[in-house]
Amino acid sequence: MKVSVIGCGYLGAVHAACMARLGHEVVGIDVDERKVAALREGRAPFYEPGLPELLEEVAATGRLTFSTEMADAAGAAVHFICVGTPQSHGEFRADLSYVDAATSALTPFLQAGDVVAGKSTVPVGTAERLAASLEATGATLVWNPEFLREGFAVQDTLHPDRLVYGLPTDDDGVTTPAGEKARAVLDEVYATPLAAGTPLVVTDRATAQLVKVAANSFLATKISFINAMAELCEATGADVTRLADAIGYDPRIGRRFLNAGLGFGGGCLPKDIRAFMARAGELGVSDALGFLREIDSINMRRRVRMVDLAREVCHGSIVGRRVAVLGAAFKPDSDDVRDSPALSVAAQMQLQGAHVTVTDPKAIENARAKWPDLRFAATALEAAEEADVVLLATEWPEYRDLDPDELAAVVNRKAILDGRNVLDPARWRAAGWTYRALGRP
Ligand code: UDX
């Protein structure tokens, strides 16, 4: 099947490569010439495990091309909208300018019967508005949210937990004939994962748009719940990691996404819960999502608490102290620094007078572009040279596996802050370190 993918960022580039891998003939379109040039050469424009290999594999088939010209999307049976929906400047609402621009640029090239499948995370109601703008073309707009996690994006796209189709419905809630046709087209697009038994939820467009933000809100809630428990643990001398293990054995709760620490960041969770609150307000149901404000506050408090903890181990002041921050990406296996808790804490400490050196295996370039005033080092040992305190902020495997004795040889003072609760306190203390963490004695 001929497929176009509009927007080749973290979502679109992976989606395009995976669609080609599934056997489709794919054109990826992006306005960013640098991104398109890299992808044309088979290079991933960002760090995502498995993507370079996949790009190489599909390049050999000739089924994957990239272009900056929207006209090259013409003739595709399905057009996936994969552009970003960042937080609007100065407010909680999602900025839909990229979605609107992509859709209107695509409109002149649409033919009757084409399927336009929205993948971007949007406020509920956006699909209906876009559908109205496309009506004259005879194309059908469906919502087909994407749930991929950065770091596992290829795996999540080729072997998704579930597929969701949001189809147009009539006034009685019945899928329209055009919607049924679009469903058949999507079934063909996803024939391989469907044949492998991937669960499929077919619903209306409003539900499909809500599914994505509901899922991300639930995940954010789970993380903030355990971080709230960490605050209780700090007040009582309890250990949040053991608490999470113990409650996680209950299958109704589950241990995943119960890792306390610096909290959630990235290009999705923080802005999605805020956009969801803003949309609820517009719909007159802001009370329903009042709790998300608390989820956001708990999350942001962790960053403040971490700076306080650094101050405590530096005997009351971080002014003039050398701090090594291990990690800049918002999570391991990613070079994404959007709303990264690690960088946010590093920048706060720098602003409060500390001399901060940040390291990361993949994200230094992106981090430097965002915070040019911070110092950067290539390795943990270089970053930790003469440090008064070392903060593990992103749990990359090489930081989890650090040898306390090796690190001790380069620092000024043996003080480590475990921002992700991944180190063994007994091991570090036995090596003479002051070990502190969020929610652990
Ligand atoms: C998320 C959703 O998981 C994904 O389904 C959706 O499509 C996009 O948003 P992603 O942003 O890639 O994916 O990262 P995720 O793995 O969800 O982690 C988000 C943040 O939560 C990270 O900063 C991570 O460090 C933090 N986190 C995660 C915790 O603090 N504790 C946990 O237990 C899990």
pLDDT digits (tens, 9 = 90+) for 362-404: 999 999 999 999 999 999 999 999 999 999 999 999 999 999 9
For residues 158-178, average pLDDT: 97
Q: What is the mean pLDDT of residues 176-191?
A: 98
Query: Mean pLDDT over residues 200-224, rounded?
Result: 98
Residue 240: predicted pLDDT: 98
Residue having the nearest C-alpha atom to atom 32 of ligand 1: 257
Catalytic residue IDs: 268
C-beta neighbour count of 266 within 10 angstroms: 21
Range(s) for CATH 3.40.50.720 in the chain?
A: 2-198, 303-437
Structure tokens at 60: 């050999």
- Phi/psi of residue 349, nearest 5 degrees: -65, -40
Q: How confident is the model at residue 145 (pLDDT cuts 50, 70, 90)?
A: very high
CA of 224 to the centre of ligand 1 (A): 12
* 303-437 CATH fold: Rossmann fold (3.40.50)
pLDDT for 225: 98
393 in contact with ligand 1, CB cutoff 6 A: no
345 CB under 6 A from ligand 1?
Answer: no
Supply the mean pLDDT for the chain: 98
List, for residues 326-365, the tens digit of each pLDDT value: 999 999 999 999 999 999 999 999 999 999 999 999 999 9
Look up the pTM and report it: 0.97
Can you tell me the distance from the alpha carbon of 157 to that of 159, in angstroms, rounded to the nearest whole number?
6
| Residue having the nearest C-alpha atom to atom 34 of ligand 1 | 257
Q: What are phi and psi of 432, to 5 degrees?
A: 90, 10
Nearest ligand 1 atom, CA 257: 33
Rounded to an integer, the average pLDDT of 32-41 is: 96
Task: State residue 12's pLDDT score.
Answer: 98
DSSP reduced 3-state for 117: strand
150 lines ligand 1 (CB under 6 A): yes
State if residue 148 touches ligand 1 by the CB under 6 angstroms criterion.
yes
Range list of H helices, 146-204:
153-158, 177-189, 191-195
Please give the DSSP secondary-structure letter assigned to residue 255: S
Q: Which residue has the tokens 């989820």?
A: 295
Question: Which residues, including other chains, have CB under 8 Å from residue 412's CB and lie 6 or more apart?
Answer: 322, 386, 387, 388
Q: Give mean pLDDT, residues 301-307.
A: 98
Query: From the CB of 147, is ligand 1 less than 6 Å away?
Result: yes
Query: So what's the pLDDT on residue 345?
Result: 98
Residue located nearest, by CA, to atom 31 of ligand 1: 259
What mean pLDDT is predicted for residues 300-305?
A: 98
- Homologous superfamily of domain range 2-198: NAD(P)-binding Rossmann-like Domain (3.40.50.720)
CA of residue 388 to ligand 1 center, whole Å = 30
Residues of the chain with CATH 1.10.1040.10: 213-296
Fold of 213-296: N-(1-d-carboxylethyl)-l-norvaline Dehydrogenase; domain 2 (1.10.1040)
Q: Where are the beta strands (DSSP E) in 251-405?
A: 322-326, 355-359, 375-377, 389-392
Nearest atom within ligand 1 for CA of residue 223 = 31
